[in-house]
Amino acid sequence: MSVLAHGIGAQHDLPLSPFYAFAGAFAALFVSFLALGLLWSASRFRGDRAGRPLPVAVQRAADARSTRIAVRALGLAAALLVVLYLVLGPADPDRNPAPGAVYVLLWVGLVPASLLFGPVWRLLSPLRTLHLLGCRVLRRDPAAGRPLPPRVGMWPAAAGLLAFTWLELVAPDPASPTALLLFLGLFSAAQLTGAARYGARWFDHADAFEVYSGLLARLSPLGRRPVDRRLVLRSPFNGLVATPQLPGLVATVCVMLGSTAYDGFSDAPSWITTVQTSALGRTTTATLGLLGAVALVAALYALCAGATRLLSGQLAHPLTAFAHSLVPIALGYLVAHYFTLFVTEAPRTVMMALGADNPAPPEPPLGPGGVATLQVLAIVLGHVLGVVAAHDRSVRLFPPGRAVAGQLPLLVLMVAYTIGGLALLIA
């Protein structure tokens, strides 16, 4: 079951030419940067105000009470089924679908689901449903509660994401029912306690999976305008530039990036040897490695933000101003590292849930060359989209004479992240 703790398995044998991979990536970034600097002199994205409304019939079906009840019931039933499998099912993870349901269907499956349908976890979340049911029993408004301090922002979600990725990538036995039950129990208790104190808005800021889904959904072509609540088709960039600049946003995205980078690095033979021979012990060494990867991603971004402020003049919030441009990069890393895992282990998990005993996973739809191409394209495209998002924000914030110069640190950062991402694939 170690495949559940590592996105693509033996990635170091992928048939990639380092020269062509790096050359193509650098060419894409520099050409994008130069083209944007020459041809893109004013902001073109309108954020949440943009979009073409979907037909009224589609809106009514999506917002119908019966639809929402059905989706909430599905999420709650799936959660109860996972708990039952953890409590009553076999301890062998090869015969228990619960670990796959958490690490594959939930964690990885939220990526395509959020890209296609928007922030789906907001409606699927069993914790939101339990809170809503509890409020109805108590005849209490679900939104009622103390005001959430502004400084809280997304910090609880960042901590929750770090805890979950620690369980997935570092814990001695991440697929054991005991470990999963302990994590899910503590996580649920913390979330429901926060919701009881601050109301349903707590989930918007503190539920790690909801914030994770919401950030990825910023790149979905399906959105909702805040003014009239209409469902619209939009450019993903319009959703991306409307990302709220909340405290903890940078930390959340850096956890997404750093944990995925560590997932790739943890499969390297040199790191495996280091972990196995460390005097500190396997768990402590791996924990320091995960924290170090997140800290390195954050430190590079902080240096970039500081340099951007120096080059472009005063910038009120340099850290959060460009944090949204990291979201497509995180998406590219997620696709590169988890594609094979999802297309093989997700069907296997479903087959086990339907009663099959230790079924064989299906063959991947792509061969090694196809997987390698997809991974490189995902990482490069994610960085190019990040360059576009950063440029549009630059021409909006900075005077015309400083907009391009102010992006140079961001370009250097994108190049550094690209080198790291590709190195993890072909090292």
pLDDT digits (tens, 9 = 90+) for 357-372: 878 888 878 777 787 7
In what helix (H) or strand (E) does residue 224 lie, and over which residues does it extend?
A: strand 222-224
Measured between alpha carbons, how far is 298 from 152 in angstroms, rounded to an integer? 19
Residue among 120, 164, 377 at smallest CA distance from 255: 164
* Spatial contact of 222 and 118, defined as CB atoms under 8 Å apart: yes
- Assign 223 to helix, strand or coil: strand
Q: Encode pLDDT of 107-147 as tens digits.
A: 999 999 999 999 999 999 999 999 999 999 999 999 888 99
**Lowest-pLDDT range of 82-86, 391-395, 403-407:** 403-407
Q: Band of the pLDDT at 6, cuts 50, 70, 90?
A: very low
Measured between alpha carbons, how far is 117 from 4 in angstroms, rounded to an integer? 25
Q: Which residues pair with 269 in a beta bridge?
A: none
**Average pLDDT for 163-186:** 93
Measured between alpha carbons, how far is 335 from 219 in angstroms, rounded to an integer? 14
Q: Encode pLDDT of 319-367 as tens digits.
A: 788 889 889 989 988 998 888 888 888 899 998 888 888 788 888 787 7
Alpha helices in 119-218, H assignment, sequence order: 121-124, 126-137, 155-169, 177-198, 201-206, 208-217
Measured between alpha carbons, how far is 61 from 67 in angstroms, rounded to an integer? 7
Measured between alpha carbons, how far is 384 from 28 in angstroms, rounded to an integer? 7
* Spatial contact of 407 and 391, defined as CB atoms under 8 Å apart: yes
**Average pLDDT for 69-84:** 95
Burial of 290 (0-12, 13-18, 19+ CB in 10 A): buried
Residue among 212, 223, 210, 190 at smallest CA distance from 259: 212
Cα Rg of the chain, angstroms: 22
Q: Encode pLDDT of 37-50 as tens digits.
A: 666 767 788 888 88
pTM score: 0.89
